[in-house]
Amino acid sequence: MDLTTDELTTFTTNGMIIKPGFIPADLIDRATTLVTDWYRTDMDQRQLVDYTQLTFAPELSDHPDLLALFANPGVSGLVGQLLGDIAPVTTTQIQIRIPDDELGQTQPAKAMHVDGVACPHLDPAELRTFSLLVGVVLSDIADPAGGALRYVPGGHLQMADWFRTQWSLGITAQTPPHIDTEQGTALLGKPGDVLLMHHLVPHAVGLNHTTQPRIMAYFRVSHANHASHRLQALRDPWLDFPALTARSQ
């Protein structure tokens, strides 16, 4: 179950690791049933902008069947290997990209960004950062045009450089121009795949031109000390990853 040396090297270099089919099928079935039932019966399209900015199915964010995707020993073990001590994870974010054709409005796209810094809907002087994004794929994502998450491999090092040398708190740009224009690599996958992504990896999402909703569950994980050094963690990409510090030098 451990991350291999190659995977740790991939994480250091690319800022992310994908573990295909990592979550047991029964946990995935319970979570997908919950979310797809909500999608069919409880979703209120008038709240689409809020859902997209924050979370879909907000009333399910602490549901045990969603939290179980993170709290199972396998995922916790991987996270512990990267971060060591973590702050408790108490909420799930659900992100759905709805097929364009099913909407009477456009679902807002997300330009290249790192989470928690200069969020368009928040005060740019406020940081809502964390250490590691854990993404669990809950639908088949076979087509990059299906609203797939797009990430920039290695972008965590470029972002840290920008935060160190060009950026200051309160700036509203979410990334430097050379990152903003990147297309990014589409995260394709199947239910049960897990993405472990460094908090500084820039990513974006666009419209879903297919007929299937694209569904992800995300957990934002903080190293136990993250809240006391948010600014430094933007500039030192390994501050929250004690196990990787030596490897990245």
**Binding site residues, ligand AKG, CB under 6 A:** 95, 110, 115, 149, 203, 205, 216
Nearest distance in Å: CB 110, Fe ion: 6
Residue least distant from Fe ion (Cβ): 115
149 binds, among ligand AKG, Fe ion, none (CB under 5 to 8 A by kind): ligand AKG
Nearest distance in Å: CB 6, ligand AKG: 26
Nearest distance in Å: CB 123, ligand AKG: 17
- Our CB check for Fe ion shows the closer of 8 and 204 to be 204
Instruction: By CB under 5 A, name the binding residues for Fe ion.
Output: 115
67 binds, among ligand AKG, Fe ion, none (CB under 5 to 8 A by kind): none
Residue least distant from ligand AKG (Cβ): 95
- Our CB check for Fe ion shows the closer of 32 and 95 to be 95
Nearest distance in Å: CB 238, ligand AKG: 22
Contact status, residue 203 vs residue 174, Cβ threshold 8 Å: no
156 binds, among ligand AKG, Fe ion, none (CB under 5 to 8 A by kind): none
User: Coil, strand, or helix at residue 137?
Assistant: strand
- Our CB check for ligand AKG shows the closer of 8 and 187 to be 187
The contacts of residue 78 (CB under 8 Å, 6+ apart) are 1, 2, 3, 19, 194, 196
For every residue of 30-64, DSSP letters joined together read: HHHHHHHHHHHHT--GGGHHHHHHT-BSGGGTT-H
- Our CB check for ligand AKG shows the closer of 191 and 244 to be 191
CA dihedral of residues 78, 243, 114, 233 (deg, nearest 10): 140
Nearest distance in Å: CB 5, ligand AKG: 29
- Our CB check for Fe ion shows the closer of 8 and 206 to be 206
| Token digits of residue 143 | 């087509």
Nearest distance in Å: CB 73, ligand AKG: 25
Nearest distance in Å: CB 170, Fe ion: 20
Neighbours of 99 (CB within 10 A): 17
- Our CB check for Fe ion shows the closer of 58 and 84 to be 58
- Our CB check for Fe ion shows the closer of 115 and 193 to be 115
160 binds, among Fe ion, ligand AKG, none (CB under 5 to 8 A by kind): none
- Can you tell me which residue has the tokens 């399910």? 60
Give the Cα separation of 184 and 150 in Å (integer).
Answer: 5
Cα 57 vs. chain centroid, distance in angstroms? Answer: 17
Amino acid at 198: H
Phi and psi, residue 197, nearest 5°: -130, 130
Distances in Å between the alpha carbon of 7 and those of 12, 16, 22, 248? 9, 9, 14, 13
